[in-house]
Each structure stands twice: as C-alpha cells, then as structure tokens.
Structure 1
C-alpha cells in the first residue's frame, strides 16, 4: 500500500514540477537552465531531466546563448510555437468566432460565422463544428496537433460538466452538453467557460491586467452584459457558477423591464437594447435625429445605425449612449464596493463600437465619494476588442496546460 501511494505521489510531483517549469519558461522566455533552477527552486538535475523530456516532445527549442558573468554562456530556451495549436470559440447571440493560435499565442487563423439562432440548436452546434474544421483545414495542420479547444458562451452554465444550462437569449438551449459534443466529435480536450469569465482570463494571461492580484472583467454587448472575476490567478466561479453575473444587478427599481422579468437590471439599462429603446421612445415623443426620416416607422431603427450616428455627432444617439454609460458607471461603483478588485476591464461590442462609452462610465465612477480609493482602482478598456471572448477561450486552454496541478 505504501509503495503504491509512493508511486502516486511521485507521479503527482512530476506533474507539478513539469507544470512549474513550463509556466516559468512561458513567463520568462528566453531563459537558461540555470535561471530556471533558481526561479523554480528545483535542482539542476531535475531541470535537466524535465528539459530533456520537453525537448524530446518538441515543446522546447534552444535559441542562441545568453549573457555570462564568467564561464560558459548559457543556452537559452524557448517554447516551440509549432509544437501545438489551440482553438478558441466564442458563441454569442450574433456570431460564432473561431481563432487558432500556436503555442506561443501567435494568431494563425480566424473565422467568423453568423450564429442564426432562429435555425435551432442543432444547426448552431453544426456551425461551431464547421468553424473548428475549417480552421484546422485552412491552417493546414493535422488534427492531433490541436492541444485543446476552448469555448466561451453565455451563462448560466456548469463549467465542470461542460453544460450550457439555459442561456436566456438562446431559446431551446436547455442543459446542452456542449463540451461532450465537441470533444467526442474531434477527440480533442475541450473546455467551457462563461464569456465574461473567459474574457477575464484573457486579460489576466495576455492583456493589460496581466498577472494582477484581482481582476473584474465586464463585457457589454448589443444583447447581454456580464462579468467575470479572477482572484490570485484563478477564475472565481462562486456557488453554482453564479459569480460575476452583474447583468442582473438591479440599479433602478423603476427602470425598464429585463429579459429575465425583473425591472432595472444593469443588462436592461446599459446594453444595446436600452440604447435602442431610448432612441426609439424619444423619437416617438417628437425628438429629431439624423437616423429617422419623417413618416417611417421608428421601431425599424437598428442598433448599428445608432452607433454610426453617435460617432458622427448625432445629439440624440450620443445622449442615449451617455445615459447607458452612466448606468454602467453605477454598476461599476457597486462592484468596487462589494469586490474591491485591483483592476476592472471593460470590453465587448459596445465599447468597440463607441469608445467614449467607457470614458463616460469612468467619469461616473470617479464622481462617487465612496469608497475613497475608487479613483485608485484601474479601469481599463479591454485589450482584445470584439475578439475578447475567443481569446478568452484560448486562455482557458493555456490555463489548463500551464496551470495543471493535481
């Protein structure tokens, strides 16, 4: 019994050490074996054995020599980008975005397809499979070179079982085992994360909030709003994966009705649906706008036209976006009060389409007297714009490769 337990412990320790070395190289490449030993605390012989294994597997390559304070110049180590590839899929109300990167996170392929939810769940899942297939074929690699597939999708969800429970804007999507479906189709490890949790991971791994202690990411889209939190390098999921669901934080009891049935939810007061509702309502009350022609039906005004008009200086459309940004600022203030993160990152479709939106929200946050440190919380635009969900899905796979500890 003790021998068997010893073998288990030895295997576990090997995995821990391998993960430790990989992560150290990822964070500090190019790096020498000697510096790796100092950084990880492992013995030189352990480092030698691990490096030999990783070089045999093609994961590492030697690239030139480094500086020396005397004696032989050290040989430097790099991750071999072509040793494997990772696919990130973002599923939203409007689009399926697929991005492929190599092991050094260099983008090598991208595809975007319309979601077309009206076609039904099976058709949409078929499009996700098609996007993955096309990425592999277009980049021209063998399927076995793909080390993992990450999926970023709307919640509620069960990240451990890989199940989409019932996304509110996805009719008919009840307990969909999306991870099992994709994994069984491609025989590639597949992971699921809520879009805003994935976005938080993207910022922590590759973005402006890289390696901070605590991070809250907010994604604001034409339809839907959510949040995700990283604490000490790990996604905070909370009870039943419910953490970060600020879209249904009520900020105005007398506000407009949300798709969830409540009134005044942040999602109903700060996203494209609110902006569109505000513009249409004001035009019906007699307000003028460059996007409305007399005699036409105000209900036909599309959200994209409102963003274009706002960027061209249309007063009513700018007013609608400013009001939505103010509402978002109230929500961010509540996040600071409850979570007190080091960094807040704001991204999604709306900030990408109207950059002043984030600036206006920050003004609202900084205008609040309490807490006194709210001006010290860094509030940043998302690094990856409308690719934030797909990059987040890629980060999820990297997280599982580099951070695997039993």
Structure 2
C-alpha cells in the first residue's frame, strides 16, 4: 500500500492565505487560513444532499467565492468523502450525494477562485491536520477517527499515509454481515452501527426523542435502557477500531466529533472494548486521545498542511 511522506516547509516561508473547504452531505463549510494555521474568515451553508448537481455546486460556489473575494490565495483544497480520483480532482462515487458522481470539482474550483485547487479525502486530511497542528504532532504512527454523523479513519504509519489515492476510510468495512442495510447497498457496514444515525434509529425503536450522543448520555443517568444503548454504541465504535488495530497497529487513536465531546466514561468503554478485541500488547497497546484542535477543525487545517507539504500545485 502506497503512502505519502509528511514533510512541511516552515510556515514563515509562505505568504498569503489558503482556502480550505469541506463538503459533507447537506453542508459545506470553509475557511480562509494562513500558513500558521490562523483562521482569518469562515463561511458555512446547508443544502439538500439529494438535490441536483447544480444546486449543490451553487452552495459550494457561494462559500468559496465569499471567502476568496478579497484575498490572494496560495491554493485551494476541498475535502470530501466517498471514492475520489484525487489525481484528476474528480468525484467518483458519492453515496450520499449521487448527483456529484463524475464531477470535476477541482478544475471547477480552480477556475472559480483563480488559484490551484486540490481534491482530497477528508479522512486523510484529518490525519494531516492532527499531525501538523494537533494531537499527532511528534507522532510517527497514529489513527485519526471521525465520529458522529460521519465515520472514518485515516492512518499515519511511520510518517506515511496508509491509503490508496481516493480510497475509502473504513466506514464501509463489513462488521455485522447480513444485518442492517447500508446506504451503499451492502449489509453490515461499520457505518450502519457506529454513527449518529444508528442512535436515532434506536430512539425510534424505543420511543425516545434523543437524537445525538450527548442527549443519550444525559438520559442514561436515570434510564437503564438509554445506558444500554450508549454502551452498545461505544462497543460498536470499538469494533471497527479493533480491526484497524489488528491490521496496522497504530496504537494511538485520536478521536474527533461526538466521541471526543462525550463523557470520559464513554471513551473508557471504547478503550476497554478495543483492548479486549485487539490484544496486541507492548508498545502498540491501544490508547485514546481527543482532538486538541479548537473547534475540531482538523480537516480544514489538514488542507493547509497538504498544500504546505506539496508546495503550490500547478494550474491545470
């Protein structure tokens, strides 16, 4: 499996700002960021993920142009999920936003903001962000874990990203064969049991109104049924992480999203299950950390790190 060595130029050697954008199902947000990681401006917009390509791209355009209007850009990077052709800057398979499949989004953004543009998988950019700006500084091997409405893991192994270009981030690994159907059409994907959508489904089945982990944890204090759901959710997250630990032994898992904001007890349940399932021991014994990046902006900052690492790319 190929990787990318992470090496960066000193921030002082660059001038201007970078445009970092993140495209999620139903939401696009972005920021204008200088090479030191300082945020100069932000914008965000929501949209219907089942809408047409024109509608989705119009939202992306409004965020991008609003941020780029008054700045000299050193580059632009867009993070997204799904299967991507990063060399050509194209969206290949986007289960939650099918209208974007085949879209040459990097060329579009480059022309729109008059700057070189890159497309990269959000899981890998999150690793870059952690390594350059966050809890992964000084680490050669670790895994960066996105939790909540999205799910994915990016892995840095001995200074290299372990992922093929445009590859998946683990959300669709099969962990519960022939059980819940995933939006990708398969059954038993990790995503079906380890995202906020699973918590909402449990709420519907139990007649509860809680729709995120924080509200489930509050109810769990007095309701044993809620406590059982929260415990199972922690174990579901650990199930996928244990597979990654067995294969790559990253040891350190940096949590982002709702698991990072949850109670210490929730994370202890993840860690206990992870250690029980993986049992690697030694220096690679699993351990958890939470993101140290304010606002959990690792993906946006990872875009800046990627541009610093690569240098300003050539215009297509």
The alignment's TM-score, normalised by the length of structure 1, stands at 0.68
CA separation of 1:322 and 1:400: change in aligned 2, threshold 3 A: same
CA contact 2:89–2:107 (8 Å) conserved in 1: yes
Cα displacement (A) at 1:119: 3.3
Alignment RMSD (CA, Å) = 2.7
Aligned pair partner of 1:388 in 290, 293, 298: 298
Q: Is residue 328 of structure 1 aligned with residue 252 of structure 2? A: no
Structure in which a larger fraction of residues adopt helix? 1
Alignment of 1:5-404 (within 5 A): 23=9, 25-26=10-11, 79=12, 83-137=15-69, 141-142=70-71, 145-222=72-149, 224-238=150-164, 241-242=166-167, 245-283=169-207, 289=208, 291=209, 303-304=211-212, 307-311=214-218, 313=221, 315=223, 316-348=225-257, 350-351=258-259, 354-356=262-264, 357-368=266-277, 370-373=279-282, 376-384=285-293, 385-401=295-311
CA separation of 1:375 and 1:341: change in aligned 2, threshold 3 A: closer
**More displaced, 246-255 or 201-210?**
246-255
Question: How many residues were matched structurally?
Answer: 304
CA distance in 2, matches of 1:116, 1:355: 32
**Unaligned stretches of 5+ residues in structure 1:** 1-19, 27-78, 284-288, 292-301
Q: Secondary structure at the match of 1:97?
A: strand
CA distance in 2, matches of 1:94, 1:314: 34
CA contact 1:365–1:374 (8 Å) conserved in 2: no
Q: Secondary structure at the match of 1:117?
A: coil
Q: Secondary structure at the match of 2:22?
A: strand
**Unaligned stretches of 5+ residues in structure 2:** 1-6
Structure possessing the higher radius of gyration over alpha carbons = 1
Q: Secondary structure at the match of 1:256?
A: coil
Q: Greater relative contact order (Cα 8 A, min sep 6): structure 1 or 2?
A: 2
